[in-house]
Amino acid sequence: MSTAKKPMITDIFVAGAKKGWIIASTSTVPNVLMAFVIIAALQLTGALELMGNVFSPVMAVFGLPGEAAAVLIGAWMSMGGAVGVAISLFDAGIMTGEHIAIMVPAIYLMGSQVQYLGRILGPIGTEGRYIPVMIVISVINAFASMLLMNIII
Amino acid sequence: MSNSTDRKVSIGAYIALAAAIIFFSGLLQGKGALSVFDFNTLNGSFGTMANAVTESADGINVTTTTMRGAGGFGARDGFMFALTLVPTVMFAMGMIAVFEHYGALEAARKLLTPLLRPLASIPGSTGMALIASLQSTDAGSAMTRQLADDGELTKRETDIFAMFQFTAGATIVNAFSSGAVLYTLTNSAGESVVPTSIAFAVGIMFIFKFVGANLFKLYLNLTEGKAGKKAVETAIEGEKA
């Protein structure tokens, strides 16, 4: 770090922002678009309302509406998708800012695990028999974080 | 990789770490000139455009909207909305790069190293891999594999460390590239609606990563006995902790 030519702080910022542009254009935009389509489909078919009713007793424990379950299910597949789902539920007036604050840590704690099975546990060489346990612990983590956030907020 | 545990960390690095935490914590939001050190303040807002003009007894009323427009639905609305997230992601990643350049993560590694054994039952030599895993799951897992292959980690430690990385994977990059936008949501009056801050949320995630590692350790203790001892009584299936 010290011997190489010192880069300007502006260059460092721009390099980071460029990385942000790539993440935004290749991950955020497609994921949010997908989430909006899924929520639109769920709304049109009435499945979202059904989901809201079915999950309402469970989610109420965390101070959340039943539909918030869609955020968690989405998170498990893709963190970015879950953020999109949360935003579209906020837009639809189903979730409030407080609900979102409760859910943020949970989205990441159980987030993108479908992908991370291959990207974390694969390269490390974790034994297959531990994988279900690790997933269960991540989900426990997510629900515990919602309990905690519900108390804090 | 592992011999870097004792590398010196300058005071500047600790300042960078503290600055990063303050910057993303929202502490200085609305504090006059000091709010220049606040992420959401500098992230700013979009200008508004006229949406609808109606005439009533009180005169002409104009409602405004952002560039996303109002009343959209489906993929097109999702796309327009996603576009409004792009600057937040770019700004957050740009600032993360700056804080990282000034050693914020080095300082975090230095502070964490002595805590890893008591908090997560993994050796301090994993500090480097741990910090890498907060930014990239691929870098974290590759470095972990290396440590395991070099004999720096026992199988048990490797498994516990894998659990640590698996929950909230690549925490920093993921939280700042997608989570940060949630804290920019506003109501129709343009007021911020999400209480707490992204820095707070990341702190909670970090705590739960340690919780996860300990739950997994507990699971191993229950099913395979304490450290190292191979499971003889596999019949006792102590499910989740």
Interface of A with B in 41-60 (CB under 8 A): none
Interface of A with B in 80-139 (CB under 8 A): 80, 83-84, 86-88, 90-91, 96-98, 100-101, 104-105, 107-113, 116, 119-127, 130, 133-134, 136-138
Distances (CA, A) of B43 to A116, B15, B135, B198, B235: 30, 22, 22, 13, 56
**Residue found under tokens 């957050």:** B92
* β-pairing verdict for B59-65 and B49-56: antiparallel
Interface of A with B in 4-43 (CB under 8 A): 7, 9, 12-21, 23-25, 27-29, 31-37, 40
Instruction: Residue A136: list chain B partners with CB under 8 A.
Output: 240
Instruction: Residue A83: list chain B partners with CB under 8 A.
Output: 178-179, 181-182
3-state secondary structure of B59: strand
Please provide the DSSP assignment of A79-123 as one string: HHHHHHHHHHHHHTTSS-HHHHHHHHHHHHHTTTHHHHIIIIIHH
Q: What are phi and psi of B63, to 5 degrees?
A: -95, 145
Asked whether residue B179 carries a pLDDT value surpassing 50, the answer given is yes
3-state secondary structure of A8: coil
Contact between B179 and A104 under an 8 Å Cβ cutoff? The reply is: yes
Residue B7: per-residue pLDDT: 62
Instruction: Residue B173: list chain A partners with CB under 8 A.
Output: 23
Would B237 be classed as within a structural domain?
A: no
Q: ipTM of the predicted structure?
A: 0.88
For an interface test with A, the pick among B160, B194, B198 (most A C-beta atoms closer than 10 Å) comes out as: B194
Distance CA A74, CA A85 (A): 7
Would B53 be classed as within a structural domain?
A: no
List helix spans (H) across B65-194: 74-101, 104-120, 127-135, 137-149, 155-166, 171-177
Pick from A107, A122, A145: CB nearest B208: A145
Q: With bands split at pLDDT 50, 70 and 90, how would you rate the model's confidence at B153?
A: very high
**The pair of three-digit structure tokens given for residue A55, joined into one six-digit string:** 């999950």
- Tally: H helices and E strands in chain A: 9, 0
Among chain B residues, the shortest Cα distance to A142 is held by: B208
Interface of B with A in 64-103 (CB under 8 A): 73-75, 77-79, 81-83, 85-86, 89-98, 101
Among chain B residues, the shortest Cα distance to A93 is held by: B187
CA–chain centroid gap for B194, Å, is: 17
Q: Where are the domains of chain A?
A: 30-152
Distance CA A56, CA A73 (A): 15
Q: Which residues contact B61 (CB under 8 A, 6 or more apart)?
A: B53, B54, B55
Q: What pLDDT digit, counting tens, does each position of B65-108 carry? A: 878 888 888 899 989 988 988 999 899 999 999 999 999 989 99
Would B205 be classed as within a structural domain?
A: yes
With an 8 Å Cβ cutoff, are B141 and A120 in contact?
Answer: yes
Stated length of chain B: 241
**Residue found under tokens 């910090």:** B131
Tally of structural domains, chain B = 1
Q: What pLDDT digit, counting tens, does each position of B96-147 carry? A: 999 999 999 899 999 999 999 999 999 998 998 999 999 899 999 999 999 9
With an 8 Å Cβ cutoff, are B219 and A133 in contact?
Answer: yes
Q: What pLDDT digit, counting tens, does each position of A93-119 carry? A: 999 999 999 999 999 999 999 889 988
Can you tell me the mean pLDDT for B201-210?
96
Contact between B219 and B238 under an 8 Å Cβ cutoff? The reply is: yes
Contact between B145 and A123 under an 8 Å Cβ cutoff? The reply is: yes
Pick from B77, B137, B166: CB nearest A36: B77
Residue B178: per-residue pLDDT: 87
Distance CA A55, CA A53 (A): 6
Instruction: Residue B89: list chain A partners with CB under 8 A.
Output: 20-21, 23-24, 28
Would B241 be classed as within a structural domain?
A: no
Can you give the residue range of the structural domain that contains B40?
A: 2-45+86-224
With an 8 Å Cβ cutoff, are A20 and B74 in contact?
Answer: no
B199 contacts chain A (CB < 8 A): no
* Side chain identity, residue B66: T
Distance CA B95, CA B16 (A): 11
Q: With bands split at pLDDT 50, 70 and 90, how would you rate the model's confidence at A3?
A: low
Contact between B195 and A97 under an 8 Å Cβ cutoff? The reply is: yes
Residues above pLDDT 90, as percent of chain B: 51
Distance CA B144, CA B151 (A): 11
With an 8 Å Cβ cutoff, are B215 and A144 in contact?
Answer: no
Would B114 be classed as within a structural domain?
A: yes
Apex A46 CA angle, A42 and A48, nearest 5: 50
Would B59 be classed as within a structural domain?
A: no
**The pair of three-digit structure tokens given for residue B27, joined into one six-digit string:** 């502490």
Would B18 be classed as within a structural domain?
A: yes
3-state secondary structure of B160: helix
**The pair of three-digit structure tokens given for residue B229, joined into one six-digit string:** 């001892």
Would B8 be classed as within a structural domain?
A: yes
Least confident of A127-141, B27-41, B227-241: B227-241
Q: What are phi and psi of B77, to 5 degrees?
A: -65, -40
Instruction: Residue A33: list chain B partners with CB under 8 A.
Output: 75, 78-79, 82
